[in-house]
Amino acid sequence: MRRCRKIRKDMDKYLDGELESEKIPFFEGHLKTCTLCREALAQHREERQQRVLGLLPDEIPVTTRDILASLQGHAPAKPAAAPDIFPEFKESPLARVKKWVFRPVPAAAFALCIIALGLSLFLPFNTHRKASGAGVIIDQIESSQNVMIYQPEKTDTTIIWIMPASAKEIS
Protein backbone atom coordinates (compact mmCIF):
# COMPACT_ATOMS: atom_id res chain seq x y z
CA MET A 1 0.00 0.00 0.00
CA ARG A 2 2.84 2.38 0.72
CA ARG A 3 4.24 1.46 -2.65
CA CYS A 4 0.90 2.21 -4.30
CA ARG A 5 0.87 5.68 -2.77
CA LYS A 6 4.34 6.34 -4.15
CA ILE A 7 3.24 5.20 -7.59
CA ARG A 8 0.11 7.40 -7.58
CA LYS A 9 2.21 10.38 -6.61
CA ASP A 10 4.51 9.88 -9.60
CA MET A 11 1.80 9.20 -12.19
CA ASP A 12 1.69 12.68 -13.69
CA LYS A 13 5.44 12.87 -13.91
CA TYR A 14 5.48 9.46 -15.57
CA LEU A 15 2.81 10.47 -18.09
CA ASP A 16 4.71 13.72 -18.73
CA GLY A 17 7.76 11.63 -19.62
CA GLU A 18 9.66 13.40 -16.83
CA LEU A 19 10.01 10.65 -14.25
CA GLU A 20 13.68 10.29 -13.28
CA SER A 21 15.18 7.36 -15.19
CA GLU A 22 16.30 5.61 -12.00
CA LYS A 23 12.69 5.50 -10.77
CA ILE A 24 11.22 4.01 -13.95
CA PRO A 25 12.07 0.31 -13.27
CA PHE A 26 10.40 0.48 -9.86
CA PHE A 27 7.38 2.28 -11.33
CA GLU A 28 6.83 -0.07 -14.24
CA GLY A 29 7.69 -3.13 -12.15
CA HIS A 30 4.97 -2.21 -9.69
CA LEU A 31 2.39 -1.70 -12.44
CA LYS A 32 3.01 -5.22 -13.68
CA THR A 33 2.10 -6.67 -10.32
CA CYS A 34 -0.62 -4.27 -9.09
CA THR A 35 -3.99 -4.22 -10.87
CA LEU A 36 -5.28 -1.28 -8.85
CA CYS A 37 -2.39 0.98 -9.84
CA ARG A 38 -2.64 -0.18 -13.44
CA GLU A 39 -6.32 0.75 -13.53
CA ALA A 40 -5.66 4.03 -11.75
CA LEU A 41 -3.02 4.91 -14.34
CA ALA A 42 -5.38 4.06 -17.23
CA GLN A 43 -8.14 6.17 -15.67
CA HIS A 44 -5.73 9.03 -15.04
CA ARG A 45 -4.44 8.93 -18.59
CA GLU A 46 -8.01 8.97 -19.89
CA GLU A 47 -8.90 11.99 -17.74
CA ARG A 48 -5.88 13.87 -18.95
CA GLN A 49 -6.74 13.14 -22.57
CA GLN A 50 -10.30 14.31 -22.01
CA ARG A 51 -9.00 17.47 -20.42
CA VAL A 52 -6.76 18.23 -23.39
CA LEU A 53 -9.63 17.57 -25.82
CA GLY A 54 -11.80 19.92 -23.79
CA LEU A 55 -9.24 22.72 -24.01
CA LEU A 56 -8.25 22.38 -27.66
CA PRO A 57 -9.79 24.63 -30.33
CA ASP A 58 -11.97 23.03 -33.02
CA GLU A 59 -10.01 24.69 -35.78
CA ILE A 60 -7.21 27.15 -36.45
CA PRO A 61 -9.14 30.10 -37.90
CA VAL A 62 -6.11 32.35 -38.58
CA THR A 63 -4.39 31.79 -41.91
CA THR A 64 -0.88 32.87 -42.88
CA ARG A 65 -2.56 35.23 -45.33
CA ASP A 66 -4.62 36.89 -42.56
CA ILE A 67 -1.52 37.39 -40.48
CA LEU A 68 0.53 38.87 -43.31
CA ALA A 69 -2.37 41.14 -44.27
CA SER A 70 -2.63 42.44 -40.70
CA LEU A 71 0.98 43.67 -40.93
CA GLN A 72 0.22 46.15 -43.70
CA GLY A 73 1.92 49.42 -42.96
CA HIS A 74 4.13 48.01 -40.22
CA ALA A 75 7.84 47.95 -40.77
CA PRO A 76 9.81 44.75 -40.26
CA ALA A 77 12.54 44.59 -37.67
CA LYS A 78 15.95 45.85 -38.79
CA PRO A 79 19.19 44.83 -37.09
CA ALA A 80 20.07 48.49 -36.38
CA ALA A 81 16.94 49.23 -34.34
CA ALA A 82 16.89 50.20 -30.68
CA PRO A 83 17.69 47.42 -28.19
CA ASP A 84 14.60 47.81 -25.98
CA ILE A 85 12.57 44.63 -26.22
CA PHE A 86 8.98 45.65 -25.59
CA PRO A 87 8.82 49.39 -25.03
CA GLU A 88 5.03 49.31 -25.27
CA PHE A 89 4.96 47.25 -22.08
CA LYS A 90 7.48 49.31 -20.15
CA GLU A 91 6.31 52.77 -21.09
CA SER A 92 3.43 54.49 -19.37
CA PRO A 93 1.30 56.78 -21.54
CA LEU A 94 2.70 59.75 -19.60
CA ALA A 95 6.26 58.68 -20.32
CA ARG A 96 5.39 58.41 -23.99
CA VAL A 97 3.99 61.97 -24.01
CA LYS A 98 7.07 63.27 -22.18
CA LYS A 99 9.30 61.57 -24.67
CA TRP A 100 7.66 63.41 -27.53
CA VAL A 101 7.55 66.75 -25.76
CA PHE A 102 11.17 66.74 -24.66
CA ARG A 103 12.72 65.07 -27.60
CA PRO A 104 13.74 68.35 -29.44
CA VAL A 105 15.68 69.57 -26.41
CA PRO A 106 18.28 66.77 -26.14
CA ALA A 107 18.39 66.72 -29.94
CA ALA A 108 19.30 70.42 -30.10
CA ALA A 109 21.85 70.04 -27.32
CA PHE A 110 23.39 67.12 -29.14
CA ALA A 111 23.58 69.07 -32.39
CA LEU A 112 25.29 71.98 -30.61
CA CYS A 113 27.86 69.67 -29.07
CA ILE A 114 28.64 68.06 -32.40
CA ILE A 115 29.08 71.41 -34.10
CA ALA A 116 31.23 72.73 -31.28
CA LEU A 117 33.38 69.63 -31.51
CA GLY A 118 33.63 70.08 -35.27
CA LEU A 119 34.70 73.66 -34.81
CA SER A 120 37.37 72.86 -32.28
CA LEU A 121 38.84 69.90 -34.11
CA PHE A 122 38.59 70.23 -37.83
CA LEU A 123 38.27 73.73 -39.06
CA PRO A 124 41.19 76.05 -39.71
CA PHE A 125 40.12 79.10 -37.74
CA ASN A 126 40.07 82.62 -38.60
CA THR A 127 37.19 83.98 -36.59
CA HIS A 128 35.90 87.49 -36.37
CA ARG A 129 32.91 89.22 -34.89
CA LYS A 130 30.70 91.73 -36.48
CA ALA A 131 27.36 93.42 -35.92
CA SER A 132 24.50 93.45 -38.32
CA GLY A 133 21.02 95.04 -38.47
CA ALA A 134 18.70 92.31 -37.32
CA GLY A 135 20.88 90.85 -34.61
CA VAL A 136 24.42 90.02 -33.70
CA ILE A 137 26.75 87.66 -35.43
CA ILE A 138 28.69 86.38 -32.51
CA ASP A 139 31.19 84.33 -34.41
CA GLN A 140 32.00 83.71 -37.98
CA ILE A 141 34.54 81.11 -38.94
CA GLU A 142 36.04 81.01 -42.37
CA SER A 143 36.84 77.68 -43.85
CA SER A 144 35.68 75.61 -46.78
CA GLN A 145 32.35 75.64 -45.00
CA ASN A 146 31.58 78.97 -43.47
CA VAL A 147 30.01 78.57 -40.06
CA MET A 148 28.20 81.48 -38.54
CA ILE A 149 26.86 81.71 -35.01
CA TYR A 150 24.17 84.34 -34.98
CA GLN A 151 22.02 85.80 -32.22
CA PRO A 152 18.86 87.72 -33.22
CA GLU A 153 18.17 90.88 -31.21
CA LYS A 154 16.57 90.68 -27.75
CA THR A 155 16.47 86.90 -27.75
CA ASP A 156 18.38 84.12 -26.12
CA THR A 157 18.18 82.05 -29.26
CA THR A 158 21.38 81.19 -31.03
CA ILE A 159 21.32 80.20 -34.66
CA ILE A 160 24.14 78.15 -36.04
CA TRP A 161 24.38 78.49 -39.74
CA ILE A 162 26.54 76.37 -41.99
CA MET A 163 27.04 77.65 -45.50
CA PRO A 164 28.77 75.97 -48.38
CA ALA A 165 31.87 77.81 -49.56
CA SER A 166 30.17 79.00 -52.73
CA ALA A 167 27.56 80.88 -50.70
CA LYS A 168 30.14 82.89 -48.73
CA GLU A 169 29.88 86.01 -50.84
CA ILE A 170 26.23 86.44 -49.90
CA SER A 171 27.05 87.09 -46.27
Partner 1 sequence: MFRTDKNRASPREGSGFISREVEEFQTVVEEYRSRVYQTAYGIVQNADDAKDITQEVFLKVYTKMDTFKGLASLSTWIYRITVNTAIDMIRKRKPNVYTGFREEISREEANVPGFSGAARFASPFNATYQGEIRKLIQEAFTRLSPDHRVTLVLREIEGLSYQQIAETLECSTGTVMSRLHYARKKMQKLLAPVWRPAA
Contact with Zn ion (CB under 5 A) among 14, 27, 37, 140: 37
Cβ atoms within 10 A of the Cβ of 140, count? 19
Number of residues that bind Zn ion (CB under 5 A): 3
The torsion angles phi and psi of 61, rounded to 5 degrees, stand at -85, 5
Contact with partner 1 (CB under 8 A) among 2, 21, 32, 86: 86
In contact, 145 and 164? CB cutoff 8 Å = yes
In contact, 131 and 118? CB cutoff 8 Å = no
Q: Is 93 in the site for partner 1 (CB under 8 A)?
A: no
Nearer to partner 1, 50 or 171 (CB): 50
Q: Residue 162 and residue 115: Cα distance in Å, rounded?
A: 10
Q: Residue 148 and residue 170: Cα distance in Å, rounded?
A: 13
Nearer to partner 1, 29 or 87 (CB): 87
The binder of 71, among partner 1, Zn ion, none, by C-beta within 5 to 8 A per type, is: partner 1
Kindly state the smallest distance separating residue 29's Cβ from Zn ion, in Å: 11
* Footprint (CB under 8 A) of partner 1, residues 5-44: 12-13, 16-18, 43
Nearer to partner 1, 76 or 124 (CB): 76
Q: What is the CA angle 138-144-149, rounded to 5? A: 15
The binder of 46, among partner 1, Zn ion, none, by C-beta within 5 to 8 A per type, is: partner 1
In contact, 150 and 157? CB cutoff 8 Å = no
Residues that bind Zn ion (CB under 5 A): 4, 34, 37
